[in-house]
């Protein structure tokens, strides 16, 4: 792999191309990003780069956003159900402990 990197650097120098390096935070520990981390690692092992257009990236982002929305909606439903169960439990217990306060 190191040899390929050196060859690519020399090729860039010969063509006098401009290269920008951007640091990207790792995916470790970020909820739901394990798959993205694995894909990033797999991409470093490829000999060629994939040509992705802006529209490909935008479509992928929209898919991720929809998945996040669905996950949040499901979490909200579970939270509401839990809240209703707790409220009902408290009400029933209060009625049983203090029947005179009806």
What is the tens place of the pLDDT at every residue in 3-32? Answer: 887 888 888 888 877 777 777 666 566 656
Q: How far apart are CA 23 and CA 16, in angstroms?
A: 22
Q: How far apart are CA 64 and CA 53, in angstroms?
A: 17
- Is the Cβ–Cβ distance between 78 and 35 less than 8 Å? no
More confident residue, 87 or 59: 59
Report DSSP state, residue 99.
Answer: G
- Is the Cβ–Cβ distance between 37 and 27 less than 8 Å? yes
Q: How far apart are CA 33 and CA 44, in angstroms?
A: 17
Q: How far apart are CA 60 and CA 52, in angstroms?
A: 11
- For position 99, what pLDDT does the model report? 57
Q: How far apart are CA 50 and CA 84, in angstroms?
A: 50
- For position 65, what pLDDT does the model report? 84
- Would you list the domain boundaries of the chain? 1-50, 51-102
- Write down the pTM of the prediction: 0.34
- The per-residue pLDDT for range 27-79, each reduced to its tens digit, is 566 656 777 777 778 888 887 777 778 888 888 888 888 888 888 787 777 77
């Amino acid at each position: 792999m190191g040899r390929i990197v050196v060859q690519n650097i020399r090729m860039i120098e010969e063509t006098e191309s401009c290269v920008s390096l951007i640091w990207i935070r790792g995916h470790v520990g970020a909820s739901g990003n394990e798959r993205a981390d694995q894909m990033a690692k797999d991409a470093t092992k490829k000999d060629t780069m994939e040509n992705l257009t802006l529209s490909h990236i935008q479509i992928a982002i929209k898919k991720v956003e929809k998945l996040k929305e669905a996950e949040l909606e499901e979490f909200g439903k579970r939270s509401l159900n839990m809240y209703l169960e707790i409220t009902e439990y408290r009400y029933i217990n209060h009625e049983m402990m203090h029947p005179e306060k009806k």
